[in-house]
Structure 1
Amino acid sequence: MLRFIQDFFANRRKNADPPAGSGLSRRQFAGAALGMAALPGAASGAALDLPALAALPRGQLALIIRNLAGLNAGTDPVLKQDCQRMIADIGQILPEAEKLLELHQLYRPMRQYHTSEAEDARGLSVLHDACLFSRPVSFDYTDLKGQKTSRRVLPIEIVHPATGIQLLAWCEKRQAHRKFFVKEIHGLRVHAGDFSARRADLIQGAIEERQDWEDSY
């Protein structure tokens, strides 16, 4: 995956004139920010661009978006432009890519969160797929007050704030956006249906709700 991203960036810059001596450091910085070790000579690999992105599974495209959201490129305008171009290209495959990037930037944790045993990999895998492929789900949920309810929701995205892994969703019971701690979700069931036509609007609603929450503090 790292070689893909590095080759993508290298291909994007092949006709550019980057600042002297900064090319390799940018690639190394991008690799480190994406949570991987930089590979020497990555730019010498085969050039990768939109066709290569289109060949990736949706899950890997989502992973790239998550990693780019965690990349603090504000101090490097060239790297920032590379990221923006990559998101624009991913957006030709996943129209909601730019909104997902903004959403994950809003929920970027201030510290690392360690998954608990209650947040089993199987349940998270089902939720990730339900978000990616816009499948409704239902489950039993225990809230922070200990109250138990049954919910049917349209899963929007899994986010990782410092308080714990959460599912952002549109709750059909409440007819509103809601956040659910994954460790308190039980009896998860996936239902037939496809709300992909609504997903971009639901993501935008989740962004606005988060922004309103931040503005209130």
Structure 2
Amino acid sequence: MQIHNLSKENSVLNQFIAEIRDVSVQTDSMRFRRNIERIGEVLGYEISKTLDFETKTITTPLATIEATVPKNDVVLCSILRAGVPLHNGLLNYFDQSENAFISAYRHHKDNPESFEIVVEYLACPDLTGKTLILADPMLATGQSLVATFKALEPFGTPKSIHIAAVIGAEAGVDFLENNLPKDTTLWIAALDKTLNSKGYIVPGLGDAGDLAFGEKLQH
């Protein structure tokens, strides 16, 4: 798997990451969502450099000109609910893309420190020969992304697979490398070293879904 860790270079992305981590800023859920969206825009811009392009003739009010533009074969797939702001950021840049949504969540049984990934809702177009971008803000254990990929397999084989994540843990990256196709590309804004006993990223930022949309009741 090819990994692009954008935090290795200084950019305005660092400010967005700092704010979503900061407990004094996290109280503003609207700003949290907007920062995740802006990070999605940065990731989308970087991903766009690797896509297939084609030349089109554009007519201006004064003349015609040849323009090189991306081919429209992108499918954005986000994991509900935390992935919605990230999806919106990517969609701002890939506004002509097709879209897929899936619910994949941690189901805790008797032990709060163990869980299984449950996939319930899925809406997806045909993926055959297309560019698939899987968006999930928190790449912790990597199990949700792998479960999502397996759930998408009946919809066809994409020509390329990109993962867009905000913050990840090294253990999650290792899990993806062992369980996704070798030509998958990961685009991540920041990479942390540790997972705690509950499978949360440390230092991370907490629960992205709760910070974006409010605390949820477990079932």
Q: TM-score range by the shorter chain?
A: under 0.3
Q: Which has more radius of gyration?
A: 1
Which structure: greater strand fraction?
A: 2
Specify which structure has the higher proportion of helix. 1
TM (normalized to structure 2)? 0.26
TM-score by length of 1: 0.26
